[in-house]
Structure 1
Amino acid sequence: MEGMKTMSGTSLAIPIETYAARRQRCRVEASARSFAGLIVFSRDPDRAGNGLYLANHRPIAGSHPSMYDQRGRGYCAIIIPVDQDETLLVTSPYYEPDVTMDRVEVDTNLPRGLARILASYGLDSGERWGLVGEEFLPVLLYRDIQTALPFCSFYFADDVLWSMRTIKDEMEQQILRDAAKIADAGAATAMRAYRAGRTEQDVVNDIDSTLRSLGATNTSLTCQSGVYRSGEPLIRPFASDRILELGDMAQLEIRGSYRGYGFDICRSAVIGPPNDTQRHMFETVDRMLDAIIAKAAPGVRAEELQHEIDEIAHVEGFDGYQSMHFGGPSTYCGHGLGVSNDEPPVLFTGDRTILRPGMYITPEPGLYRHPEGGLRLEDDILITPEGCENLNSSQRWWWSED
């Protein structure tokens, strides 16, 4: 298919025409707000989603303090005027050849490059521009942009991209289903790998080998075992040389990407038969996840999913080990997923986003800092017109026979 290749001949998961349509939608949104256009930022490595979504580009050089004449290293900007062709501005000449935009400019000083490009459009004097990237654009860089373009005015418009990225089209949904199958294969490997006498790192290595053999990239895996490590929502290192022992509970986070889209599940286990308290914990969190999946549907607000599991934790006597609202350490019970591993909505009190068909979320209830340790269970679900579709079918928790 012609639209599935870049100028370099590289095959893409998403057609070039789709990237162009996304940028055109940005023009429509910018015009509706009386902007001259949008300037969309991305940052390596944790906020690369905007660039991937609009241009199949990830800034290649990691961020470091701006110094000398360099500004914005590790960032990129996509300039989308309402009525002219768009430009990708990168801060390093070393970028991937499979970007989906024809015009790419390089400048090690991002504000200077922006000023030059806007001047070439004739849109650097008196125009109103929408900026996308408020949550991660540093004050230094924003100040330098204002200095380089003193006659322009800027207004943050992050909601434009978030509203686009949260709803997945049919092609994206199929990629996500395939990605979820890879995650399930990783979970099956975890069941075989989590055994007494092995190390956390051994377990992670086995899972990673399975995921990569099936085409996964950007894997991020955890094996947090024992009372202290399993009891934390997240702890570094993600996998250690700790030797697994009888009675150890563990969280096994399985994350990565497939064809540019993320998967993110968590499974939990114990070595040897669980005691009564451990079994109660496993069964409670399993019920929490089932409750979220039963509740998730169009018209439901994101925060309602948190409320659903707060009640279960309260009834089962786990108030202090779950939500912050009850003195626990958990900051939320899930989030959106897409070209980035963490996207809106956030499943927590205060996020009143209304779920809509095409949203892809990953609920992840857990119990933490309990005297027995902790656990988390997580599936990836797609909101459908009728409710939701659970894309995962692997066993969520188990105990080994060691």
Structure 2
Amino acid sequence: MGPLVISAAERAERRKQVEKRLQNEGMNGAVIFSPTSIFYLVGFHFIPTERPMALILKDGTATLYVPRLEHEHAEKVSDADAVRSYPEYPSEVHPLRRFADLLRELGLASVNIGVDADGYASSWGYRGPRLSQVMPEAKITPGLGQWIEEMRMCKSDAELALIRESCRWGNLAHVLLQRYSVAGAREIDISMRATAEATSAMIDTLGPIYRSAGSATSSAGFRGQIGANSALPHAVTINATLKPGDTLVTGAGADIYGYHSELERTMFVGEPNQEQRRFFDYMLLAQDLAISLIRPGIPCSAVEREMQRFYQENGITQYTRHHTGHNIGLQGHEMPFLDLGDETILAPGMLFTIEPGFYVEGLGGFRHSDTIVVTENGSESLTYYPRDLDSLICG
């Protein structure tokens, strides 16, 4: 068995799709700044620091523009036909001005260039001019980023194989998380132990076929959703100590060549009380309903509309905080979304997290999340951790 990766041939086909669309839209080339899109198209994963990087597509050729410190790295791991580099940021000549000179050299002066953004952006202290400022003679046309995001909506067989592998190791991490979730244990200790052991087992098992493009872990944790704090859907770690009666909302997954899955469960430290059982039952019914609704040919909004009807009929709308789910893959959240405002038609190969949740102040949060793929006739769950209440009592 070869490495768990996306083949160069598959990435080449992706680039062909982008270039075909460029031609159809009357564009002469493309500039891509997004690290995720660059990885998707040429297999180069990098840390987006203050040093700008970009990918140029023109006439079937891919050129990477990187800082000097990334030059050998880009040549070694990417599918780029050429790698061009600049000395450093900010340097005496700003890297984006050097980039404009490279575009002119490649024949992209005074033409229509499709871009995903009008310049590089990073939260690591980057400052610089817009691409349109350093290339005033060219027509800079935005929108390319959304095209690539749309390409990523339906996963190929190779992508699904990586996500299935992610599900396996996320499952192991969650098994360990639940095993160590006992009263008196600390949140961070439990998470670190489960993550370290699951990651070690993953690396030992997969050995040389494993490739990362990010965190290189199989992880599980609570992210602060412990006890009453679990009523905050996106809480942050609070270093809580587990107590009898706590509601726990968990999360687990694994990075397999940059691809991710999502497994979340609602658990309890010891026997849950009547109210905890009541909201757990509502949550499980809601997730069952959402999964049953997933099938090709319907808009995302239709799923959420049925979910809202379920909440209203049961008088629990006030406990909801978010839509039913989102696509997932190279990023934790990808388009489309199971939301009233998303009319994207479900199609085979689309992935969704199915995660309706209820959040009750003072009591806790109640949310499972499973990674589901749309099939020709319905859907298939790629995650398989137990969902029933009795299986999720800890300690």
Report the TM-score when normalising by structure 1: 0.84
Counterpart for residue 164 of structure 2: 177
Distance 1:14 1:341 in 2: 18
Structure 1 position 134, deviation (Å): 7.4
> Which amino acid is the alignment partner of residue 138 of structure 2?
C
Deviation string 1:104-136 (CA, Å, 9 cap, x unpaired) is: 1223444224312211112212x1111124799
Distance 1:103 1:235 in 2: 44
Residues 1-400 of structure 1 correspond to what in structure 2 (within 5 A)? Answer: 13-42=5-34, 48-63=35-50, 73=51, 75-81=52-58, 83-91=59-67, 93-94=69-70, 95=73, 97-107=76-86, 108=89, 109-125=94-110, 127-133=111-117, 137=121, 143-157=129-143, 158-212=145-199, 213-215=201-203, 217=216, 221-223=220-222, 224-237=224-237, 240-322=238-320, 330-396=321-387, 397=389, 398-400=391-393
Q: Is the 8 A contact 2:230 2:249 kept in 1?
A: yes
> Which amino acid is the alignment partner of residue 105 of structure 1?
R
Q: Is the 8 A contact 1:51 1:76 kept in 2?
A: no
Q: Is the 8 A contact 1:221 1:254 kept in 2?
A: yes
**2:369 aligned counterpart, secondary structure:** coil
**CA distance change for structure 1 residues 12 and 250 in 2, over 3 Å: closer, same or farther?**
closer
**1:162 aligned counterpart, secondary structure:** helix
Report the TM-score when normalising by structure 2: 0.86
Structure 1 position 31, deviation (Å): 0.4
Distance 1:253 1:149 in 2: 45
5+ unaligned residues in a row in structure 2: which ranges?
Answer: 204-211
Structure 1 position 341, deviation (Å): 1.6
Identity %: 25
**CA distance change for structure 1 residues 23 and 356 in 2, over 3 Å: closer, same or farther?**
same
> Which amino acid is the alignment partner of residue 366 of structure 1?
G
> Which amino acid is the alignment partner of residue 263 of structure 1?
S
**2:33 aligned counterpart, secondary structure:** strand
Distance 2:305 2:67 in 1: 44
5+ unaligned residues in a row in structure 1: which ranges?
Answer: 5-10, 43-47, 64-72, 323-329
Distance 2:305 2:384 in 1: 25
> Which amino acid is the alignment partner of residue 131 of structure 1?
V
**1:78 aligned counterpart, secondary structure:** strand
Counterpart for residue 208 of structure 2: none
**2:264 aligned counterpart, secondary structure:** strand
Distance 1:12 1:119 in 2: 38
Distance 1:17 1:168 in 2: 15
> Which amino acid is the alignment partner of residue 331 of structure 2?
S
Deviation string 1:12-31 (CA, Å, 9 cap, x unpaired) is: 61111111111111110100
> Which amino acid is the alignment partner of residue 13 of structure 1?
V
Distance 1:261 1:128 in 2: 33
**1:362 aligned counterpart, secondary structure:** strand
Counterpart for residue 206 of structure 2: none
**2:261 aligned counterpart, secondary structure:** strand
Q: Is the 8 A contact 2:259 2:331 kept in 1?
A: yes
> Which amino acid is the alignment partner of residue 269 of structure 2?
I
**CA distance change for structure 1 residues 401 and 177 in 2, over 3 Å: closer, same or farther?**
closer
Structure 1 position 370, deviation (Å): 3.0
Deviation string 1:125-149 (CA, Å, 9 cap, x unpaired) is: 2x111112479958x9785211110
Which 10-residue stretch deviates more, 185-194 or 214-223? 214-223
**CA distance change for structure 1 residues 220 and 29 in 2, over 3 Å: closer, same or farther?**
farther
Which 10-residue stretch deviates more, 109-118 or 351-360? 109-118
Distance 1:364 1:314 in 2: 18
Distance 2:317 2:84 in 1: 54
Computed over aligned residues only, the root mean square deviation of the Cα atoms, in angstroms, reads: 2.5
Q: Is the 8 A contact 2:177 2:221 kept in 1?
A: no
Distance 1:100 1:12 in 2: 17
Deviation string 1:262-297 (CA, Å, 9 cap, x unpaired) is: 111211111111111101111111121111111111
